[in-house]
Structure 1
Amino acid sequence: MAKDKVVTFGELMLRLAPEGYMRFVQADKLGATYGGGEANVAVSLANYGHDAHFVSKLPKHEIGQAAVNSLRKYGVNTEDIVRGGDRVGIYFLEKGASQRPSKVIYDRANSAIANSTRDEYNWKEILKDAKWFHTTGITPALNDEVAAITLDALKAARELGVPTSMDLNYRNKLWSKEKAGKVMDELCQYVNVVIANEEDAKDVFGIEADNTDIHGGKIDREGYKEVAKKLKDRFGFDKVAITLRESINANRNLWSAMLYDGDDYHFSKKYDMNIVDRVGGGDSFGGGLIHALLKGMNSQEAIEFAVAASALKHTIEGDYNLVSEDEVLKLAGGDGSGRVQR
């Protein structure tokens, strides 16, 4: 049986983090791993058995190769990664604990992908025979040229009949709300499935839910129905997925999501999570949702699979979600006991 080809496009970064819950100022050594929004999705999809392709630009030197190898290790196809430039982008992560939040410091200026040019990517060739294309709002935020490359990819996908998804993923350290709104407004014209969280729709498009306090852990489901409807009405998305995170503290979150398919609003069950590593949680949701839709699951099954996949990611160190389809289906089916499997 042929595997579905899925293509993702974005930046792969080096992650440097102190051990455990140490603060930056305490640490005398940093652990090195790799990750990035779209790369994380590709790893999830490869683990679910898809022919996952990740597209980016990375240096030819050993650090760039180590980043590529981190994807190959999990079966991601890297043949369309452009090699060149001098820098792999870096982010430093300090894990939060209890009432102390996690912190991220970026060192990604002039990374290889940020110095990409449109002529380095032949999207019609890259997307040939693809069944899905995914990217996020982080990638076009890097600069205007990368935003143009992202638009080229989405237009090529539309021309080839390839379904597309976009995680809004607003990052205020990369661009302003005004710039994000302008650029994403054009990109979203070519998107079939959009993924957002409690803040993204407000920050990027000024669309927000009533009666919700994300910092106080209060979420009103009815408000998010209206957010999803407004997004669909504005852009004509086939589906709108909104993740709903209720933060009790840095280690404990309540996690659920909603999928609006134009006919009905489908809410997942809610997971009470004790978090090992939060980074990549949203990406694992995206990977799970894409897999579920490609597998032909109905809307309720799809949102349950995506949320279960993401709940499991929160238990795994690093950016990548290293779980199988069977593990996700077991949790989605109601087995969250955590009992030892023998």
Structure 2
Amino acid sequence: MTAIDTVFPRPPSDQRRWDCVALGEVMLRFDPGEARIRSAREFRVWEGGGEYNVARGLRKTFGRPTAVLTALPRNEIGLLVEDLILQGGVDTGRIVWREHDGVGRNTRVGLNFTERGFGVRAALGVSDRAYSAASQIAPDEFDWDVLFGAGGTRWLHTGGIFAALSESTAQTALAAVRHARRHGVAVSYDLNYRASLWNSHPDPDAARRVNRAIAAECDLLIGDEFSFASCLGLEHGGAARATPMDSAPADAACLRVFEALPNLKLIAFPLREAHSASRNAWGGVLHARGGRRCQSLLRHELDILDRVGGGDAFVAGLIHGLLDGADLQRALDLGVAHGALAMTTPGDNAMTSLDEVEAVVRGDGAAARR
């Protein structure tokens, strides 16, 4: 038994098809590069989604078998998304395909137009995702016993963006985490609070009601004091952050979350300060039930090409370390390094290797390698 097994028992790996499955929406991201959305004449297209990005990072960077649980329309755009997912090596065999009416009244692919930002011009995201195929996913569209039973997956990852899309996706996320727990599958959940999604909900308390029910079934929760207050209704009651990189308020909030959610074993959150769209401070913190706290090296001057997806890459690296049986500090360092590298390339996902992640963890310099 390794040191981490006493805090976070590794999910069994015997005869499992996947190391992780991710439940969430996969959108098309339209990236104008250095231009603006409002005046662009061309876009590069990427696939992305808060939950899916974690599965892709685990597969592409860390070589772990993963699958995505989502829905797509059966048309050329849906096939494009599938092809992009396949290029990332993620298993598409559990995608729910919906018949398309020809114009998108009944189902469509969600679109996300995203500017990377530069200097004083902040990154900007504009979503066009209403009536998407994934927003209509219902709990009975997946065979949970097959996914989580013998021969299924070791880990389930989902998040608050998917849960916020509709009442049916909220119920699907809740069904997924409950079935996973019943089968002994590890569960992670990124609160990933988006006010624009939750504020349109007819129930003003939906964010707290839904997120609290899902988080209660989880082993690993990703969030800070802001998302704990918005999503769980847990105010930490302490002082505000002295700086964006000050983790003390979030540390205090984690203690309250552990008290409120007895099944929870770990809480993690990245630390970020945007000096400009092109330069951030970056790091991360990991808390374990029982009081252990790990903090990564804080990089106060990290050059950024595209910040979108950095948090998802952080989660992917962290999960890889936990699945590997790494010490908690090493698991956190892998997450922070992977997140940092993901923000050096365009698109939502890291274009990196495990060797490069390890080099960042070791603190190797950025001299050219030949």
Q: TM-score range, shorter-chain basis?
A: over 0.9
- What does residue 210 of structure 1 align with? 239
Deviations 1:26-71 (A, max 9, x none): 2122222111111111111112111111110011111111111111
The answer on whether the counterparts of 1:211 and 1:220 sit within 8 Å (CA) in structure 2 is no
The answer on whether the counterparts of 1:273 and 1:314 sit within 8 Å (CA) in structure 2 is no
1:201 equivalent in alignment to 2:215: no
1:267 equivalent in alignment to 2:295: yes
Q: Tell me how far apart the structure 2 counterparts of residues 91 and 218 of structure 1 sit (CA, whole Å).
A: 27
Select the residue among 302, 313, 319 that pairs with 2:348. 319
Q: Tell me how far apart the structure 1 counterparts of residues 249 and 168 of structure 2 sit (CA, whole Å).
A: 36
Between 130-139 and 325-334, report the one with greater CA deviation: 325-334
1:148 equivalent in alignment to 2:174: no
Displacement of 1:95 in angstroms is 2.3
Secondary structure, aligned partner of 1:259: strand
Q: Tell me how far apart the structure 1 counterparts of residues 24 and 169 of structure 2 sit (CA, whole Å).
A: 9
- What does residue 280 of structure 2 align with? 253
The 5-angstrom pairing of residues 55-94 of structure 1 reads 55-85=69-99, 86-94=107-115
- What does residue 294 of structure 1 align with? 323
Select the residue among 35, 38, 41 that pairs with 1:28. 41
- What does residue 251 of structure 2 align with? 225
The answer on whether the counterparts of 1:288 and 1:306 sit within 8 Å (CA) in structure 2 is yes
Secondary structure, aligned partner of 1:248: strand
Q: Tell me how far apart the structure 1 counterparts of residues 314 and 191 of structure 2 sit (CA, whole Å).
A: 13
The 5-angstrom pairing of residues 150-165 of structure 1 reads 150-165=173-188
- What does residue 46 of structure 1 align with? 59
- What does residue 341 of structure 1 align with? 369
Identity %: 34
Displacement of 1:218 in angstroms is 3.3
Secondary structure, aligned partner of 2:132: coil
Deviations 1:260-282 (A, max 9, x none): 11231110001231111111111
Displacement of 1:227 in angstroms is 1.5
- What does residue 110 of structure 1 align with? 131
**Corresponding letter in the other structure for 1:321:** A
Deviations 1:226-259 (A, max 9, x none): 1211111111210000111112111111001110
Cα pair distance change 1:76/1:218, threshold 3 Å: closer
1:134 equivalent in alignment to 2:161: no
Displacement of 1:339 in angstroms is 1.5
1:5 equivalent in alignment to 2:19: yes
Secondary structure, aligned partner of 2:197: coil
Q: Tell me how far apart the structure 2 counterparts of residues 19 and 257 of structure 1 sit (CA, whole Å).
A: 28
Q: Tell me how far apart the structure 1 counterparts of residues 303 and 164 of structure 2 sit (CA, whole Å).
A: 31
Displacement of 1:198 in angstroms is 5.8
Secondary structure, aligned partner of 1:146: helix
Displacement of 1:127 in angstroms is 2.4
Q: Tell me how far apart the structure 1 counterparts of residues 311 and 285 of structure 2 sit (CA, whole Å).
A: 13
The answer on whether the counterparts of 1:7 and 1:127 sit within 8 Å (CA) in structure 2 is no
Secondary structure, aligned partner of 2:333: helix
- What does residue 281 of structure 1 align with? 310
Displacement of 1:311 in angstroms is 0.5
Secondary structure, aligned partner of 1:16: strand
Aligned length: 337
The answer on whether the counterparts of 1:11 and 1:139 sit within 8 Å (CA) in structure 2 is yes
The answer on whether the counterparts of 1:12 and 1:89 sit within 8 Å (CA) in structure 2 is yes
The answer on whether the counterparts of 1:58 and 1:83 sit within 8 Å (CA) in structure 2 is yes
Alpha-carbon RMSD across the aligned residues, in angstroms, is: 1.7
- What does residue 144 of structure 2 align with? 123
**Corresponding letter in the other structure for 1:258:** V
The answer on whether the counterparts of 1:198 and 1:245 sit within 8 Å (CA) in structure 2 is no
Q: Tell me how far apart the structure 2 counterparts of residues 198 and 329 of structure 1 sit (CA, whole Å).
A: 30
Cα pair distance change 1:276/1:198, threshold 3 Å: farther
Deviations 1:298-319 (A, max 9, x none): 1111111110110000101101
Select the residue among 120, 124, 137 that pairs with 1:99. 120
Gap runs ≥5 in structure 2: 1-13, 100-106
Q: Tell me how far apart the structure 2 counterparts of residues 171 and 199 of structure 1 sit (CA, whole Å).
A: 11
Secondary structure, aligned partner of 1:111: coil
How does the TM-score come out when normalised to structure 2?
0.87
How does the TM-score come out when normalised to structure 1?
0.94
Q: Tell me how far apart the structure 2 counterparts of residues 282 and 268 of structure 1 sit (CA, whole Å).
A: 14
Secondary structure, aligned partner of 2:158: strand
Gap runs ≥5 in structure 1: none
Q: Tell me how far apart the structure 2 counterparts of residues 69 and 25 of structure 1 sit (CA, whole Å).
A: 28
Q: Tell me how far apart the structure 1 counterparts of residues 93 and 239 of structure 2 sit (CA, whole Å).
A: 46
Deviations 1:5-28 (A, max 9, x none): 2111100001112122x2222212
Cα pair distance change 1:225/1:117, threshold 3 Å: closer
The answer on whether the counterparts of 2:56 and 2:66 sit within 8 Å (CA) in structure 1 is yes
